[in-house]
Structure 1
Amino acid sequence: MSRSRHPHRQATLASLAAELKVSRTTVSNAYNRPDQLSAELRERVLDAAKRRGYPGPDPVARSLRTRKAGAVGLLLTEALSYSFRDPAAMSFLAGLAESCEDAGQGLLLVPAGPGRDDVDAAAVVQQAGVDGFVVYSVADDDPYLAAVLERRMPMVVCDQPREIAGASLVGIDDRGAMRKVAEYLITLGHKEFGVLCMRLGRDLRDGLVEGDRLNSPNFHVQRERIAGVRDALTAAGLDPASLTVIERAEHSGPAGHSAAEQALAVNPRITALLCTTDVLALGALDYARWRGLDVPGQLSITGFDGVDDALREGLTTVRQPAEEKGRRAGRLLLTPSHSGVATVEMLETELLRGHTAAPPA
């Protein structure tokens, strides 16, 4: 049998409407607004589309027509892979994804890791087909944040930076929560402290934190958690300048291990290590085991976040609602206030007194 010289053309919205003797709007509604059609009519449209190989309305054309991309952009402070390794970030992402699913929206991850310049940032952000941004714990001087602000789209910030004009905020009282941890350790009798923290700026540094680096970092969360410890020391009549602060550019267990080793080398009198995250604290626990130090008999270690691994270890830590943060951020972005006034939602934290803090020997 000879083949036709005229190949079968793929159906279009117009040809399908003509075949079914309905309007093009009816075919479009079968995909985009099914509530506008009877179940029988919608099924007839979809069956014909399947038979003719019609894939549905062009999403690009639809976005041009409606001026809606149907997606939320998530601006991350680290490389994309970080979101799938860091337990607190994963919980936040799960909550945000849930809000997007409930609203029928997609989610686009925009990593704002270190080492990128203004040109790269502007190109990535300008190409993002989204209707608004959730900014998750980004430095206040990050070029990706500057590019997001230039787009003048709806935006919700989680944790940092604070005080972005017109942007709603979801966060916690980092300073107050960390102060409670330090106060608890002081009541146990500790007087020599070390703090292990994540990086304090977009540049990658490891080591002892002193001077301007300690007083004016670009990451609000780390700055406030360190300040909370200093507040507790001051209130107890202890010298905040005696605090040993060790910074790590990488947020990982091995980084916590090496930071604990450095802190005790700088000040061997330290009896308590306060870590600004559970990941660093778990690394510090690993170091203590490696050195044969009894926790909490010889060294108390605390964390922050309340991730599952920390809870299984019985870590003394601060539990924060990371997943609820993501859920709230998504809802704020997808259901903006009709008043036009930015919303601030501060969520509660809880100090968990685990098995890794006790009076000093």
Structure 2
Amino acid sequence: MPRVTLQTIADRVGVSRMTVSNAFSRPDQLSPTLRERILAAAQELGYAGPDPTARALAKGTTGTIGILLTDSLRYAFTDLVAGGFLGAIAEELAPTGLAITLLSSASTGDLIPARDVAMDGALIYSCDPTSPAVGWLQRRRLPLVFVDQAPIDGYACVNVADREAARDAARHLVGLGHTRIAYATVGAHGPYGLIADTDVPVEGYASIQRRLGWNDVLGPAGITPPVIRQPFERVDLLRADARELLSRADRPTAVLCFSDVTAIGVRQAAGDLGLRIPEDLSLVGFDDGPIATQMQPALTTVHQDVQEKGRNAAALLNAALRHSPETPHLLLPATLVVRGSTGPAPAPA
């Protein structure tokens, strides 16, 4: 079957090749009637459209933006908070026609997505700032927006008031009389397990800020929390560590959790041991995703507006793609929402 080209369509309609090209790439240059004739002929002839690679070379743009995630892309599809953030980005960018490519910060063989995938700009979402992937994107001089990352001069960024909200969460527990408080956190790299050292290395900007906020309150109160730490998504391992911690005679009466998902693991461990929430153990999460109100009792947690975060991130990247000289550093509010998972510290046995 002969290959269908722009010239094939031009010959069928009786117009120039440039006119056919404009029907696909510059429709405002044609009357609606003529464009409809050209598109109808293209469909009849089985024309798939202009070659994307050639079109990108001609325009100097790809029509695609990247979103750099943590090592595992699975996180984007399994975590409801991350899903809400990505959905808001897609909704904000929909009128622009830009496509979205998810990029892992890990490399596979000779392929380094941040270096090799064609894109016009990228959002860097909660990644290790020392990751080679971040460095590749910067070296490519692409328009970038950092989200849940330490602010960097020359780049727009969007963060949540993690530290301030974490302070509120810790104050809430101290105000309820809790003096034995633990941390449940996550990380991409070890050490993992039950760690009796609050100075264990913390990675990720949000993790660091939340830990600082907790310490701001518990340090002056003379409270030194044990730490449970496991990889992202390994609720099963965190559950086992929490079960060990909660089995001790001097078990904590409250746990500050990095996220609502982390709180699930602790909640499951408490159930394994027959501990009641909040009579025996108070729990505080972070994010206020859908699971927070699905838990029984509903989870006391810090609310962050991931939809607003996604919309702001996409809008800032869209501005950067238009070569805006502005590089704002946005700090979105986060608010403690008190529900049924926290209560007064139990009386000493």
TM-score by length of 1: 0.89
Q: AA paired with 1:18?
A: D
CA deviations on 1:227-285 (whole Å, 9 max, x unpaired) are 11110123xx4125x12122112334324312322443578241100101000101111
Of the three residues 215, 224, 229, the one matched with 1:247 is 229
Quote the Cα distance in structure 1 between the aligned partners of 2:319 and 2:243: 47
Match of 1:340 among 325, 346, 349: 325
C-alpha spacing 1:335/1:23, structure 2 compared with 1 (3 Å):
farther
Residue deviations 1:67-121 (CA, integer Å, cap 9, x gap): 10001101001311121111111111111111221211100000125xx59x857
Let me know the Cα RMSD of the aligned residues: 2.1
Q: Mapping of 1:118-267 within 5 angstroms?
A: 123-160=112-149, 162-199=150-187, 202-209=188-195, 214=200, 216-234=201-219, 237-240=220-223, 242-264=224-246
Task: Give the letter aligned to residue 269 of structure 2.
Answer: Y
User: Which amino acid counterpart does residue 309 of structure 2 have in structure 1?
Assistant: K
State whether residues 141 and 218 of structure 1, in contact with CA within 8 Å, keep that contact through their aligned partners in structure 2. Answer: no
Deviation by residue 1:322-348 (Cα, 9 ceiling, x = unmatched): 122122111111122755131111112
Give the aligned partner of residue 271 of structure 1.
Answer: 253
279, 302, 313: which is aligned to 1:329? Answer: 313
1:291 aligned onto 2:273: yes
Q: Distance in 2 between matches of 1:77 and 1:338?
A: 27
Deviations 1:286-328 (A, max 9, x none): 1111110011001101100111111222100011111221221
| Deviation at residue 142 of structure 1 after TM alignment | 1.4
Residue in 2 that maps onto 1:3: none
**CA distance in 2 between partners of 1:262 and 1:179 (Å):** 27
Q: Which runs of 5+ in 2 are unaligned?
A: none
SS of 2:309's equivalent in the other structure is helix
1:24 and 2:17 equivalent?
yes
SS at match of 2:287: coil
What residue is the counterpart of 2:61 in the other structure? 68
Q: Report the secondary structure of 2:213's partner residue.
A: helix
Q: What is the CA–CA distance in structure 2 between the aligned matches of 1:360 and 1:112, rounded to whole Å?
A: 43
**In the alignment, structure 1 residue 311 sits paired with structure 2 residue 293:** yes
Instruction: Compute the TM-score of the two structures, normalised by the length of structure 2.
Output: 0.91
- Secondary structure at the aligned position of 1:196 is classed as strand
Residues 17 and 323 (structure 1), Cα distance of their counterparts in 2 relative to 1, 3 Å cut: same
In the alignment, which residue of structure 1 is the partner of 2:39?
46
* Gap change, CA 1:278 and 1:158, over 3 Å in 2: same
Q: Contact (CA 8 Å) 1:303, 1:316: kept in 2 or not? A: yes
Q: SS at 1:295's partner residue?
A: coil
Q: 1:309 to 1:211 in 2, by over 3 A?
A: closer
Taking the aligned partners of 1:267 and 1:251, their CA distance within structure 2 comes to 29
Asked whether the 8 Å contact 2:151–2:329 carries over to 1, the reply is: no
Cα distance, 1:206 vs structure 2: 1.3
Give the letter aligned to residue 222 of structure 1: S
Q: How many residues align?
A: 343
Shift of 1:183: 0.4
- The answer as to whether partners of 1:246 and 1:262 remain within 8 angstroms in 2 is no
CA distance in 2, matches of 1:157, 1:50: 42
Q: Is the 8 A contact 2:229 2:238 kept in 1?
A: no
Q: What residue in structure 2 maps to residue 90 of structure 1?
A: 83
